Structure 1
Amino acid sequence: MRVVVIAAPAKRKGIPDYVTALAKGMEAMGHRVDVLDAWTGDAYRVPAYEYIAVVAESLTVFGGKMPEALHRVLSAGTLVGKKSAAFLKKTGPFTDKALTNLMRGMEKEGMYINWSDIILSAAHAQELGKRIGA
């Protein structure tokens, strides 16, 4: 399966290690995986993938606001009915609220979310990646 992992870190600092670990876990299951940085990536390519995994970080500890770059990527093409997963890096006590906000933003674009989880570390992300398609 062709999978894109969209990384939306809170700041423009490149692809975090837990995102590459998630992609490696997915590749271990035999999937063809591309990693797209939401801050610099080509959003027009996203609809071409069979499965979309969004990995984000909350901008605020209490509000659960998502990075603006993520909204730009998700609204760039038609994603209605695309199977997807929502992952959020644990950053504080209100991570559940931030994950809910992420999922609402994805569902607003018409995406079908069949999996969501909170990433605790890079090793945890790699184990999560091995569960896709299993």
Structure 2
Amino acid sequence: MRIVLMHFLNPENTKHSQIIRNLVDSASKKGHTVEVIDGQKDLSTFRFTPYEYIALLTPTLGFFGGKVPPIVSEVLANCGVVGGKKSCALVLPSLFGAEKACKALMKAMEKEGMFVDYFDIVQSPEHATHVGTFLG
């Protein structure tokens, strides 16, 4: 299965890059082809259309959390057909509000017509290895 893992994380943060690497490695071991896309870069030519599964990974924003980056909704609306595609919502925790941020991400995805079949709060790189087995 062709999977796209779009993240909105800081790639220079070693913990974030390890989480991404563990997610990709776990999904690849199940036989999936995983492509990693940084959602904060110029995405004018990127399209979700050729992928069968979409995984979104975002940080929790705000002191009390509960928010996801506003660019997420913009990317979903402008990067091709996402309606009816299977997907998962993954959130990195902050001090408070990770559950609320996960719900906000799922709401943004479902608003565009995506079918969210898995969601989780990725606590650590080790947890990311476990979560990666559910992609696809």
TM-score, structure 1 as length reference: 0.88
Q: Report the CA distance shift for 1:126/1:34 in structure 2 as closer, same or farther (over 3 A).
A: same
Give the structure 2 partner of residue 49 of structure 1. Answer: 51
In the other structure, the counterpart of 2:104 is 101
By how many angstroms is 1:12 displaced?
Answer: 7.3
Equivalent position amino acid for 2:3 in 1: V
Greater CA drift, 66-75 or 115-124 = 66-75
- Partners of 2:12 and 2:77 in 1: CA distance: 22
Q: Which residue among 97, 112, 115 is the counterpart of 1:112?
A: 115
What are the equivalent positions in structure 2 for 1:1-134 lying under 5 Å apart?
Answer: 1-9=1-9, 13=12, 16-40=17-41, 42=43, 44-76=46-78, 77-133=80-136
Cα offset, 1:69, TM superposition: 2.7
- Distance (Å, rounded) in 2 between the aligned partners of 1:55 and 1:49: 16
Hey, what's the Cα distance between the residues in 2 that align with 1:5 and 1:41?
Answer: 16
Gaps of 5+ in 1: none
Alpha-carbon RMSD: 1.9
CA distance in 1, matches of 2:106, 2:95: 18
Aligned residues between the structures? 132
Q: CA deviation at 1:13?
A: 4.7
Contact 1:7 1:36 in 2 (8 A): yes
**Preserved contact between residue 12 and residue 39 of structure 1 (Cα < 8 Å):** no
